[in-house]
Chains A and B, each alone.
Chain A
Amino acid sequence: MLGFLLRRLIVALLVGVTVLTIAFALTRLSGDLAIAIAGAKSR
């Protein structure tokens, strides 16, 4: 049972890291964050 739990935990950790990377990458790819924060008129 411990081995099973450990294997599942490792998979869960890998998924967590992947989500972390995708969440960061998507917001960076969606455009210039500084313009998004300041508003389009601030160009």
Chain B
Amino acid sequence: MIRRAYGLDQPVIVQFGNWVAKAAVGDFGESYFFKQRVSELIGARLPITLTLGLVGLAIAAVVSIPLGVLAAVRESTAIDRAVQVVALIGQAMPSFWLGLILMIVFGIKLAWLPVSGTGTWQHYVMPGIVLAFSAIPALTRLTRSGMIQALASDYIRTARAKGLSSGSILIKHALRNAAIPVVAIATVQLGFMLGGSIVIETVFALHGVGFLAWESIGKNDFPVVQAVVLVLALIYVGLTLLADMINAVLDPRLRSA
């Protein structure tokens, strides 16, 4: 009965063909558990996950790029070492633990931010910070190494000899070149963040795609799990494409690669 209702009595190749044909037009079937169209379920929850991912990436960029530039400008000093320690701590700290600590301190003790839900922008601050913490170390290190390499280049020496201000040299000349790998990694990190949002959304009870995936795995709701995996993978592919395009704009030599 169930086999016939869900088309499981047909050969696997026929099931695959049907699934691909429907998936290509955004029809992922009906959820076994929610009794709702999967595309509607994902459509309703995707904006929450995307908002969370973008907030996380924005926080990561705002923190890591200035930190990386600072560490490069003050290379081999106490500031540089302090930045590297901060990056190391960020990498070593489990995100669910940081989330719980932030909830206790800023949500319960200080009552500055809401601990769960999605009603206002304030609901995205703590999950965004937690999500950003996983991306900050990689972006900081990459910015630092890129800036050190750029600052040692001949064109920077020429710019200094011409009397350009240090701000102009740093931002217009060095950072532009150092930003190429940072852009590539930042977009890939956004993809990781969207995938990693399963943990964060569960901790903060945000009803996004990650939370939907977690619920669906527990309920053996395969159409939803399949669709979530596919949507997240396609977003990742799209972001990689976007990174390639931005890099091609920043460095025209990459267009022939």
Is A12 within 8 A of B237, CB to CB? yes
For A38, the closest partner residue in chain B by CB is B2
Q: Interface digits, A6-17 against B, CB 8 Å rule (1 contact, 0 not)?
A: 001100100110
- Within the complex, the shortest CB–CB distance from A36 to chain B, in Å, comes to 4
- Within the complex, the shortest CB–CB distance from A13 to chain B, in Å, comes to 9
Partner of B233, one of A5, A16, A24, A33: A16
Partner of A9, one of B16, B20, B226, B241: B241
- Within the complex, the shortest CB–CB distance from A10 to chain B, in Å, comes to 11
Q: Does A43 contact B (CB under 8 A)?
A: no
Interface bin, chain B: 20 to 34
Partner of B2, one of A8, A23, A34: A34
Q: Interface digits, B139-166 against A, CB 8 Å rule (1 contact, 0 not)?
A: 0000000000000000000000000000
List A residues at the B interface (Cβ < 8 Å).
1, 4-5, 8-9, 12, 15-16, 19-21, 23-24, 27-28, 33-34, 36-38
In the complex, 20 of the A-B residue pairs with CB atoms within 8 angstroms, ordered by the A residue number, are A4-B244, A4-B248, A8-B241, A12-B237, A12-B238, A15-B233, A15-B237, A16-B233, A16-B237, A19-B229, A19-B234, A20-B20, A20-B23, A20-B230, A23-B226, A24-B20, A34-B2, A34-B3, A34-B8, A37-B220
List B residues at the A interface (Cβ < 8 Å).
2-3, 6, 8, 12, 15-16, 19-20, 23, 32, 220, 222, 225-226, 229-230, 233-234, 237-238, 240-241, 244-245, 248, 254-256
